[in-house]
């Protein structure tokens, strides 16, 4: 299995809602990433987990809350988002966080719209 | 120093032609240079990658050329096909961390 899966594919939420994005991989990778991608822009790194521990938080607002319950799962909890948070949210994984085997494999993304 | 520059912003090529996308970086500590291909509504997919100890890597119709002294690397797509129409991102990282993407190139291959 060489796939990173993400659910849901699309999500529309109001500014007062609480929702979660889910990411799953079964490649035995121990590093997992959340990226945000706006239209016609490159992905921007948000969070990195290494061995289920948060390693990098790129100064992301607290209305985004990541969680890594086990080595295969990564969640992104959303609360009180703003319309400018509308974007494609991408999950990625790699064998390890650093070193030679750091190729990142991306999921298809969740298209989030905040009304 | 962390920036990766990419050009052109958009590229139109006839079917069968060669597509060339260029990237440049400043940080000499970068040690891994991947190229990603992204179709609309999809996540980026790793296309080909190179490390600075080699000057060229070829996989099928895709070739990376790497010039360490000039701090530049490029992607060549030979015999470009309409199915290659996508956005291409170069990227760079240091020991797997500090992953930086270029701004992207939108490639259109005309039939």
Q: Identify from A7, A31, A38, A43 which residue to disrupt to test chain B contact, counting B C-beta atoms within 10 A and taking the largest count.
A: A43
What is the DSSP secondary-structure string of B36-84? Answer: EEE-TTS--EEEEEE-TT-SEEEETTEEEEEETTTTEEEEEESS--GGG
A5 against B41, higher pLDDT = A5
Is the pLDDT assigned to residue A101 strictly greater than 60? no
SS3 category, A86: coil
Residue A95 banded pLDDT, cuts 50, 70, 90: confident
Give the residue from B78, B107, B108 showing the smallest Cα distance to B90: B107
Q: How close, in Å, is residue A83 to chain B by CA atoms? A: 19
Is the pLDDT assigned to residue A29 strictly greater than 80? yes
Residue A99 banded pLDDT, cuts 50, 70, 90: low
Q: How close, in Å, is residue B69 to chain A by CA atoms? A: 22
A31, A100, A105 member nearest B46 (Cβ): A105
Name chain B contacts of A4, Cβ cutoff 8 Å.
Answer: 43
Q: Identify from B41, B44, B90 which residue to disrupt to test chain A contact, counting A C-beta atoms within 10 A and taking the largest count.
A: B44
Is the pLDDT assigned to residue A1 strictly greater than 70? no
- In angstroms, rounded to a whole number, what is the distance separating the alpha carbons of residues B13 and B26? 29
- In angstroms, rounded to a whole number, what is the distance separating the alpha carbons of residues A112 and B34? 27
Run means of pLDDT, 10 residues per run, chain B, 111 residues: 90 98 94 93 91 93 95 97 97 81 97 93
A97, A108, A109 member nearest B96 (Cβ): A97
Please give the residue of chain B at the shortest CA–CA distance from A48: B97
Whole-number pLDDT of residue A100: 63
B40/A contact by beta carbon, under 8 A: no
Is the pLDDT assigned to residue A72 strictly greater than 70? yes
- In angstroms, rounded to a whole number, what is the distance separating the alpha carbons of residues A40 and A11? 20
Q: Identify from A42, A98, A108 which residue to disrupt to test chain B contact, counting B C-beta atoms within 10 A and taking the largest count.
A: A42
């Amino acid at each position: 299995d060489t796939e990173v899966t993400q659910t849901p594919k699309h999500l529309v939420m109001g500014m007062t809602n609480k929702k979660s994005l889910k990411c799953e991989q079964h490649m035995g990778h121990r590093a997992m990433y959340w990226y945000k991608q706006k239209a016609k822009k490159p992905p921007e790194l948000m969070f990195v987990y290494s061995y289920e521990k948060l390693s990098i938080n790129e100064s992301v607002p607290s209305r985004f809350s990541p969680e890594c319950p086990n080595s295969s799962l990564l969640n992104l909890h959303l609360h009180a988002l703003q319309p400018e948070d509308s974007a494609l949210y991408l999950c990625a994984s790699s064998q390890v966080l650093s070193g030679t085997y750091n190729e990142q494999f991306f999921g298809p993304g969740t298209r989030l719209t905040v009304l | 120093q962390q920036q990766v520059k990419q050009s052109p912003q958009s590229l139109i090529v006839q079917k069968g032609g060669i597509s060339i996308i260029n990237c440049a970086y400043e940080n000499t500590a970068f040690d891994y240079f991947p190229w990603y291909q992204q179709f609309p509504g999809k996540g980026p997919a790793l296309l080909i990658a190179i490390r600075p100890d080699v000057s060229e890597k070829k996989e099928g119709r895709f070739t990376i050329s790497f010039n360490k002294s000039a701090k530049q690397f490029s992607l060549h797509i030979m015999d470009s096909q309409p199915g290659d129409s996508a956005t291409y991102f170069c990227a760079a990282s240091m020991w797997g961390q500090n992953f930086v993407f270029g701004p992207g190139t939108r490639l259109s291959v005309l039939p």
